[in-house]
Amino acid sequence: SFPSPCMASQSKGKEKKQRRKEEAALDAARRLRVAVAQEIVDPLEAFVPFRTYNRKGIHVELTWRHSESLSSAERVWGFTLLKTHMQALYEEADGWGWHEQRKRRELFEESARFLWVTDQESKEPRAFAHVRFEVEVRRPTDRTCVCAHPFQHGSGTRTMQRCC
């Protein structure tokens, strides 16, 4: 004997419910990982030897900064650096474009973190990496966004870049 159509639809319904339950559990686990990552005060604490870089005429210090700890002058400097090196790339990319207010908001949102690079002598900023831990709504994965921006030193530009 064959199963009735009613039994088949009940089975499909149970499968869909089980998939939704599994997806909800995965989403909760992703959100928990993001929350844990955002609570880390300073990930560089475990890597003290890497807080300074003294090679090839470059003498810089690296610090982990939260968005709210940046002064208005540092925010202006950071956004200017971002705009200088990224605006053309965004404008050339299909479907992206450069939206200044949106970029500024994204760069300095509350959850933003920075690997901030300053000159050891002058204490002037030299570079930064912008980090956000988030669960992307359109993609079922948690991710870390890292954007490291070029900086001028001596005879040329040193480039560090990986943007999501």
Please answer whether residues 60 and 118 qualify as being in contact, where contact means their C-beta atoms are separated by less than 8 angstroms.
yes
Length in residues, the chain = 164
Q: Taking Cα atoms as reference points, which of 159, 158, 134 lies closest to residue 27?
A: 134
Please answer whether residues 134 and 111 qualify as being in contact, where contact means their C-beta atoms are separated by less than 8 angstroms.
yes
- The yes-or-no verdict on residue 34 having pLDDT over 60 is yes
Residue 30 to residue 135: CA distance in whole angstroms = 7
Higher pLDDT, 150 or 60: 60
Q: Taking Cα atoms as reference points, which of 72, 65, 60 lies closest to residue 124?
A: 60
Residue-wise pLDDT for 101-156, tens only, equals 999 999 999 888 999 999 999 999 998 888 887 777 655 554 555 555 555 444 44
User: What local confidence, expressed as pLDDT, does residue 158 receive?
Assistant: 46
User: What local confidence, expressed as pLDDT, does residue 3 receive?
Assistant: 59
User: What local confidence, expressed as pLDDT, does residue 2 receive?
Assistant: 58
**pLDDT average, residue stretch 28-50:** 83
What DSSP string describes 85-100?
HHHHHHHHSTTT---H
Residue 105 to residue 86: CA distance in whole angstroms = 15
pTM for this prediction: 0.69
In 10 A of CB 39, how many CB atoms? 8
- The yes-or-no verdict on residue 78 having pLDDT over 80 is yes
When the pLDDT of each residue in the chain is averaged and rounded to a whole number, the result is 80
Residue 65 to residue 52: CA distance in whole angstroms = 15
Confidence of residue 30 (pLDDT cuts 50, 70, 90): confident
